[in-house]
Structure formats: structure tokens, C-alpha cells
Amino acid sequence: MIEDVEKLAMLYDRVMENLQEFSMPAEEQIKKLKGFPVADEVASDFSDITLNYAKELFENAWITLEQYQQFLNIDEKLDDMSKDKELWCEEALRNASEWEKCREAGAELLTSLGY
């Protein structure tokens, strides 16, 4: 049981770190992820890593259904955005309202998680 608690605590910490990165201003994301295709990296970190960790946290009652639904809503928005290639560059990351709404949703989620 202790191993499970330690694992869940580690997952929770990673979720918080990833959400902080996801929610930071575009310029900070670009600076932090320099050398990578930043928009792709931000989205894949969320969808491929954070969302999976959030699912495990939800299944173990570490986050609420409402919080998990917030994760799913953000992932759905990113999926919708993937249909528009123009949204996947640094300029769009800086200026597109879609990215701003994602960052705002991430910040709201952080708040709901007590950050």
C-alpha cells in the first residue's frame, strides 16, 4: 500500500509540474522548451503524459470527477486544435486565442487542485 501511495504522490507532483508548464505564458513555454517544436511538446506533454497520470489519480480517488473532467475538456480542445495546422507554431502559441483559452483552463485546473 505504501508503494501505491508513494507512486500516486509522485504522479500527483508530475501532474502539478506539467500543468504549471502548460499554463505558463507562451514566452516562458518557448524559453523552457527551446530546441523543441514548442506547441507540439506542450500539447503532447498534456495529452500523452498528464492526462494518463490524471486518469490514474482519478481511479484512485486522488482527484474528483469534476477535476478529471477538466483534464478531459482540455484534451478535447487540443484535439480540436490539431485539425488546424496554423495553430502549431510559436507565433500561434503566443497569439492564438485557442492557446490562451487552454492556458486559462490549465490555470483554473491548478486552482481547483489547490495550487
82 closest CA partner among 45, 40, 42, 33: 40
Structure confidence at residue 34 (pLDDT): 87
The per-residue pLDDT for range 10-46, each reduced to its tens digit, is 999 999 999 999 999 999 999 999 888 999 999 999 9
Domain limits of the chain? 2-112
The model carries a pTM of 0.92
Which amino acid is located at 73 in the chain?
Answer: N
Question: What is the rounded radius of gyration, in angstroms, for the C-alpha atoms of the chain?
Answer: 14
Structure confidence at residue 2 (pLDDT): 60
CB atoms < 10 A from the CB of 93, how many? 25
The per-residue pLDDT for range 59-109, each reduced to its tens digit, is 999 999 999 999 999 999 999 999 999 999 999 999 999 999 999 999 999
